[in-house]
Amino acid sequence: MNKNSVSVRISAKDFAYQEIKERILKCEYTPNQPIAEEELAKDLKISRTPLREAMQRLELEELVVRQTNGRLKVAPVSVKEVRELFLVRSMLEGIIAAEAAEKCTEQDVRHLSYFANMIKQTANERDMEAVSTFGSQFHTYLYEVSQNKTAVKILRQLNDHIMRYRRLAHFIDTKETSFEHEALLEVIAKKDKHNAELMMKKHVLKAMEKAVTALKQYENTMNENE
Amino acid sequence: MNKNSVSVRISAKDFAYQEIKERILKCEYTPNQPIAEEELAKDLKISRTPLREAMQRLELEELVVRQTNGRLKVAPVSVKEVRELFLVRSMLEGIIAAEAAEKCTEQDVRHLSYFANMIKQTANERDMEAVSTFGSQFHTYLYEVSQNKTAVKILRQLNDHIMRYRRLAHFIDTKETSFEHEALLEVIAKKDKHNAELMMKKHVLKAMEKAVTALKQYENTMNENE
DNA sequence: CTTCGTATAATTGTATACAGTTATATTTTA
DNA sequence: TAAAATATAACTGTATACAATTATACGAAG
């Protein structure tokens, strides 16, 4: 076999996990929607054994919840949860920013500059979908630089949940976001740990306010339609 | 059925999870020790299906790791991981302390006083095992008061890992710990969010230093004996 | 018409069997 | 004797079958 080709014999369990997770994050499966194992297994053309393992993983990540009768449903949403997600995220992103400021090389700064520039450019073009994408890449790059596996693992899960809320309540970035990333880059390049942490925390907490506002609006329109 | 009696028909999966987790946290299963599903299932007198679900949960919590050949072993330990665990924990305990300071009632303060007093008393008696136990209860009580499910869930997992390191490297609390809890109680009772957060962070980071020192010593003795 | 009880169906939890893969033991060859 | 090749054993991944639980449909009683 070609040495460069990585054999990606993906297991049924992992396939199911990825597939179902995507459906939940994209809100194809809506909050509180019930899920039956047999039906889903048939749909994915696998047996219940690996499906159950996939579902358990999603359950532990709290993207699905198990009811007292043992049956599964897609996790509910709440303003309280959004606040918690962003509050915890702000602290962990703060750690990451500080550690990244400490460890980043000149090449890392160049990479981050690229993302910051793309954020600025797409923000000017009012392409907020792209702003969000490059924003994620900016943060994800910091994750790598920080080398803090414990924090990064938690952050990835938090970000999954946040992604679902984003799709659900349609909250988007603003022009401010662009400036914030530029300012962050600046202090990180200066290896200013302390300010990197503070600014990152504030940056994330600002995003929280947008998210909360959007979700409240979403919940209002939902209540009107019932 | 009596309304007060809670039916605790524990599943084979949950039984296995609890049992194996305990063995790992108590270091009956040592770091890097291989685990075979068949053998363990026989030992616990259950089939591989629920055992695998239990093992997957432990794997996701990183108390066991899956090797490239698909086989499981007890998670390794490292100084780097200890630092990450405590650093993340310090931030989350900081959030918790701030939120608890905001929300705590007079009765909560009385409960916390009890724990703080027991910490002081047992510290005076040099019963460091008891100090550790009441210390945990002090923190756990704050978790409840904070009502931050997201942070608490993560903290419980971090604390499991920390417990394993404690058992492995035998690091214990000191007299200082006692004073720190008293001081924490004081600012929380005054509902001083800001200082509650700062002091809690410092408190946890102090514990980190003890843990790191103890683990390094443990690793040294391990290397000498090989 | 509603409520209760019972039978039936649907769903989850667990055991077992088997297929596919990886490691180990054995044999063969130089 | 050492290395390579092959056979055997051990182990994991998945499917299927069955047991236990929960929900639903239906009929009887009030």
The residue ranges of every structural domain in chain B are: 12-74, 79-224
User: Residue B72 CB closer than 7 angstroms to strand D?
Assistant: yes
Which residue in A62, A85, A91 is closest to B92 by CB distance? A91
Interface of A with B (CB under 8 A): 49, 52-53, 56-57, 60, 62, 81, 84-85, 87-88, 91-92, 94-95, 148-151, 153-154, 158
Which residue in B57, B88, B95 is closest to A60 by CB distance? B57
Q: What is the pLDDT of residue A133?
A: 95
User: Residue A50 CB closer than 7 angstroms to strand D?
Assistant: yes
Residue with tokens 């943060």: A139
Distance from first CA to last CA of chain B, Å, rounded?
Answer: 59
Q: What are the pLDDT digits (tens) for A92-117?
A: 999 999 999 999 999 999 999 999 99
Contacts of B24 (CB under 8 A, 6+ apart): B58, B63, B64, B74, B75, B164
Residues of A within 8 A of B158 (CB-CB) are: 150
pLDDT at residue B47 above 70?
A: yes
Which residue in A49, A81, A158 is closest to B49 by CB distance? A49
Q: What is the pLDDT of residue A222?
A: 81
pLDDT at residue B5 above 50?
A: no
The domain A12-74: what is its CATH number?
Answer: 1.10.10.10
Nearest to B104 by CA among B114, B95, B112: B112
Residues of chain A falling short of pLDDT 50: 1-7
Q: Could you tell me which CATH class the domain A79-224 is placed in?
A: mainly alpha
Q: What are the pLDDT digits (tens) for A161-196?
A: 999 999 999 999 989 999 999 999 999 999 999 999
What gap in Å lies between CA B126 and CA A199, rounded to an integer? 44
CB contact under 8 A, B148 and A91: no
Give helix B193-224 / helix B149-169 axis angle, nearest 10°: 30
Q: What is the pLDDT of residue B226?
A: 56
Q: What is the pLDDT of residue B223?
A: 81
User: Residue B25 CB closer than 7 angstroms to strand D?
Assistant: no
Q: What is the DSSP string of B1-36?
A: --TTPPP----HHHHHHHHHHHHHHTTSSPTT-EE-
User: Residue A12 CB closer than 7 angstroms to strand D?
Assistant: yes
User: Exposure string (b/e) for B106-124, b if CB count within 10 Å is 16 or more?
Assistant: eebbebbeebbebbbebbe
What gap in Å lies between CA A224 and CA B11, rounded to an integer? 42
Q: What is the pLDDT of residue A223?
A: 78
pLDDT at residue B131 above 50?
A: yes
Percent of chain B with pLDDT over 70: 96
pLDDT at residue B105 above 60?
A: yes
DSSP letter, residue A5: S
The predicted model gives B211-223 an average pLDDT of 93
Burial grade of B162 (CB within 10 A; 0-12, 13-18, 19 or more): buried
